[in-house]
Structure 1
Amino acid sequence: MKSESKSQHVGKVTHHELKQTLGTWQLWGIAVGLVISGEYFGWSYGWASAGTLGFVITAVFIAAMYTTFIFSFTELTTSIPHAGGPFAYARHAFGPTGGYLAGAATLVEFVFAPPAIALAIGAYLHVQFPGLEPKHAAMGAYLVFMALNIVGVQIAAAFELCVTLLAIFELLVFMGVVSPGFQWANFTKGGWSGADTFSMGSFHGMFAAIPFAIWFFLAIEGVAMAAEEAKNPKRSIPIAYVAGILTLVVLAIGVMVFAGAAGDWTKLSNINDPLPQAMKFIVGEHSGWMHMLVWLGLFGLVASFHGIILGYSRQIFALARAGYLPEWLSKVHPRFKTPHRAIIAGGVVGIAAIYSDELIQFGGQTLTANIVTMSVFGAIVMYIISMLSLFKLRRSDPNMERPFRAPLFPFFPAFALVAAVICLATMVYFNFLVAVVFAIFLALGYVYFLLTRHQREAAPSDALLEE
């Protein structure tokens, strides 16, 4: 009976393998592409509550959190190069329950981020083509990029690298075009929550702006979910992660400062297209530069949308393969070797969210704002669990092979952990209703987890998850 069971598991594993095709540049493209839409929209809402100078402090704090997190997270990614990413690390450190919490949080982050970006794509296309319904355009974006991800990860990663490079080029063009009108006085005027001088009230605005600073970097950790498809993950992933976070920090600072110094920043603080509006201050509404920025702006949105589809599909695939979700979601396409069912399943949830205004639009927030906030909740919880996993594995498994070790341990992961806890507390305070919905999701998922123990016992053996 044991030999029969073992042969069945071996047979299953052959149907759950991903193809190793990704190189360092492609992984860097995924790392930056996952995030780069955050340079185009979302962050400027932080100015409304914190002001430009207050938001700089918030953004620097969040950038420090992400930088220390990525340097620490890379140790986990290279030690356990698993498509489940944080789920695999937490399961290895804390057992099945830890794996569930990390996997569920990551799933919320990566399943709820794409519909927010798809809605932005739809809104953008609606401006160019007024007869096109934004939600229909958002659904069309899902269908196109789900198909591209199914066809093959090599093609998908090559496309991701191309659109990411175009998006970076566009941000550099933006900074170059507005630079002749750069005035530091524009950036600093009313820079402390609308006032010219710092006050205790400025702290409130700085904390309230935390989610918008997180949007600058949200989802960069998704590279971990492509680890099983990397040619040499122990070498390529550290390079991709470190180069990716440095690229994003430089772009975030550059875009924010150049936009705020171009004119009256208060006119940019509550809109979805701060870059084109900032450019209007310098070149006017009908400039050729303006039209180029508007059209190329789509590349930043597409890069993140496409990359996060890759991320959520690998998370669903890994959870299903380990028995945390229905096993049929872990099947890979016989020809393309991609998790096609996981890609489709996440897309169905995202499209449903796009058309669920009445269910998701609550607490005085827009549909997009609530979807983004839900995604951020998942991310922050996952960051906390990941850093706890790093500390736990350093103690419980000191002999584990670690091709990349977190620098300045334990200070880097400790800072990332404390910063993430601060962010979570702030998020709950300012977004209590969304926090309750997020907690309900986790609770319902945990009930499913408790009822499906037999699925995990029957799942294919996985050496990276064995304790």
Structure 2
Amino acid sequence: MSKSSPATGLSASLGTLQLWGIAVGLVISGEYFGWSFGWASAGTLGFLITTLAVALMYGTFIFSFTELTTSIPHAGGPFAYSYHAFGPTGGYLAGMATLIEFVFAPPAIALAIGAYLNVQFPGLDPKIAAAGAYVVFMALNIVGVTVAATFELFVTLLAIFELLVFMGVVAPGFSFENFTKGGWSGADSFSLASIPGIFAAIPFAIWFFLAIEGVAMAAEEVRDPKRSIPIAYTGGIITLVVLAIGVMVFAGGAGDWTKLANINDPLPQAMKMIVGESSGWLHMLVWLGLFGLVASFHGIILGYSRQIYAQARSGYLPGWFGVVHPRFKTPHRAILAGGVVGIAAIFSDELLSFGGQTLTANIVTMSVFGALLMYILSMASLFKLRRSEPNLTRTYKAPFYPIFPAIALTGAVICLITVSWFNPLLAAVFVGIMAVGYAYFLLTHSQRTALPMDALASEAN
């Protein structure tokens, strides 16, 4: 039986398995598309190195981040942790970074949904299909968190099954020679010239794992967060690392991997190299592959809506967004607000296609900028809170502290510097968005003083 928090109105009804479904589902579309853009920069072997390094960063980050999530179970997630550690400005920086991550990721996934549907229905405009996906899954999120999470678990299990089917069908035609040919940025052997490509591919390796931290934003809706969150995070990151490496290796060994770079549907195209265009396996992959995209799309809508809602009720965004639906107990206005931004991004080819990259690649990279800044602030918050609040209730502590959070923090800093170096125009856009948001933050000081200044801090205790 669910319960509701009188302070927030959100329904605390999620169990451990549903939370694991959200953790994996938030990310699993990264196994279906987006990552293959990294092959264009680094080659298969170079990108494998990038992916393993990023997986190390994410593993240590999640084990460290779990301490924050269980100690401060708040719908704002990183926004609340940074506020708790560094005050209102810290809260703003982490909150805006998280918003950029979670608002820019869904349109990229929606475009991939459109691309997959276009394989089956060539006359269907992928952008129209992407916008339609927003309408359907915003509605599902509004109906209720239990319904949304149960659906998320169902489609996530189907998506995992489909990735295993893909690997099984492709395996008989797998060739290690195909995978390694030109595997170092187009060359057959490693050289110093391979290194820039390895670094340039970082955003697309991050896409394999991006948004798993979104589980934190469902913390207020979990029946037993201190028990369920560590299990969900640990099981989730292990599941995703295994699937990411398996999918990438099998796809690269299916044939000429260069034909899979810079496209939104690498898995159907990889399978086509093995079974042909008319195979029933291919059609099954396209249809069931949609479940992976839907799982992440649906889950990230849940994530961005809770982030908008949490910031609005704390005075960081207009209070209009911080309203819970009286019947469904979901932040319906926040759900719709993020959808409006996402649909606008889908139809912004001329505005967002620059720097020699596709619309999807640029949206992915923008989301990565937000994620990396948020990771840095979250790990800094962990170190700060360990010193400033040693008595904070910590039912889960980061293992191998301070080594794990230090690895995560260092990795995130290196990644942010590297992504900025290879994407200077997008870096400028990211800084511009943060600056505009900061101006709003300064101009709206009065709406935060109307709220209890220690509201976020007190919720951690």
Same fold (TM over 0.5): yes
Q: Structure 2 vs 1, CA of residues 363 and 184 (structure 1 numbering), >3 Å: closer, same or farther?
A: closer
* Aligned partner of 1:114 among 91, 98, 106: 106
- Tell me how far 1:463 sits from its aligned partner: 4.7
User: How far apart, in 2, do the equivalents of 1:269 and 1:372 lie?
Assistant: 15
* 1:253-282: CA deviation from partner (whole Å, max 9, x where unpaired): 111111112222222223222211221222
User: How far apart, in 2, do the equivalents of 1:402 and 1:464 lie?
Assistant: 17
User: How far apart, in 1, do the equivalents of 2:230 and 2:90 lie?
Assistant: 25
Q: Indicate the residue corresponding to 2:47 in structure 1.
A: 55
Q: Is 1:104 aligned to residue 96 of structure 2?
A: yes
Question: Residues 209-224 of structure 1: matches in 2 within 5 Å?
Answer: 209-224=201-216
* Aligned partner of 1:146 among 133, 138, 148: 138
2:118 is paired with a residue whose SS is helix
Question: Residues 8-23 of structure 1: matches in 2 within 5 Å?
Answer: 14=6, 16-23=8-15
2:12 is paired with a residue whose SS is coil
- Tell me how far 1:365 sits from its aligned partner: 2.4
- Tell me how far 1:21 sits from its aligned partner: 0.5
Task: State the one-letter code of the partner of 1:251.
Answer: L
* 1:211-266: CA deviation from partner (whole Å, max 9, x where unpaired): 11001001000000000000000000000001000000000011111111222222
Q: Is 1:383 aligned to residue 375 of structure 2?
A: yes
1:259 is paired with a residue whose SS is helix
- Tell me how far 1:460 sits from its aligned partner: 5.7
Task: State the one-letter code of the partner of 2:340.
Answer: V
Q: Is 1:411 aligned to residue 371 of structure 2?
A: no
2:457 is paired with a residue whose SS is coil
* 1:388-430: CA deviation from partner (whole Å, max 9, x where unpaired): 0000000000110111100000010000001001110111111
Q: Indicate the residue corresponding to 1:323 in structure 2.
A: 315
RMSD: 1.4
Task: State the one-letter code of the partner of 2:210.
Answer: L
Q: Indicate the residue corresponding to 1:452 in structure 2.
A: 444
User: How far apart, in 1, do the equivalents of 2:136 and 2:289 lie?
Assistant: 18
* Aligned partner of 1:176 among 159, 168, 176: 168
User: How far apart, in 2, do the equivalents of 1:263 and 1:363 lie?
Assistant: 29
- Tell me how far 1:14 sits from its aligned partner: 4.1
Task: State the one-letter code of the partner of 1:33.
Answer: G
8 Å CA contact 2:111, 2:127 repeated in 1:
yes
Q: Structure 2 vs 1, CA of residues 302 and 263 (structure 1 numbering), >3 Å: closer, same or farther?
A: same
- Tell me how far 1:15 sits from its aligned partner: 6.6
Q: What percent identity do the matched residue pairs reach?
A: 78
8 Å CA contact 1:360, 1:370 repeated in 2:
yes
Q: Indicate the residue corresponding to 1:232 in structure 2.
A: 224
* 1:322-344: CA deviation from partner (whole Å, max 9, x where unpaired): 11011121110111100011111
* 1:76-133: CA deviation from partner (whole Å, max 9, x where unpaired): 0000000000000000000000000000000000011111111111222233223322
The list of structure 1 runs, each at least 4 consecutive aligned residues, that deviate by more than 4 angstroms after superposition, is 460-464
- Tell me how far 1:352 sits from its aligned partner: 1.5
Q: Is 1:393 aligned to residue 385 of structure 2?
A: yes
Q: Structure 2 vs 1, CA of residues 189 and 365 (structure 1 numbering), >3 Å: closer, same or farther?
A: closer
2:301 is paired with a residue whose SS is helix
* Aligned partner of 2:234 among 239, 242, 248: 242
1:465 is paired with a residue whose SS is helix
Q: Indicate the residue corresponding to 2:186 in structure 1.
A: 194
User: How far apart, in 1, do the equivalents of 2:281 and 2:454 lie?
Assistant: 53
8 Å CA contact 1:110, 1:375 repeated in 2:
yes
Aligned residues: 455
Consecutive unaligned residues in structure 2, runs of 5 or more:
none
Consecutive unaligned residues in structure 1, runs of 5 or more:
1-12
Question: Residues 35-434 of structure 1: matches in 2 within 5 Å?
Answer: 35-434=27-426
Task: State the one-letter code of the partner of 1:262.
Answer: A
Once the two structures are overlaid, the 10-residue window that deviates more, 267-276 or 30-39, is 267-276
Task: State the one-letter code of the partner of 1:457.
Answer: T
User: How far apart, in 2, do the equivalents of 1:125 and 1:182 lie?
Assistant: 26
- Tell me how far 1:461 sits from its aligned partner: 7.0
8 Å CA contact 2:114, 2:130 repeated in 1:
yes
Q: Structure 2 vs 1, CA of residues 265 and 359 (structure 1 numbering), >3 Å: closer, same or farther?
A: closer
User: How far apart, in 2, do the equivalents of 1:258 and 1:368 lie?
Assistant: 23
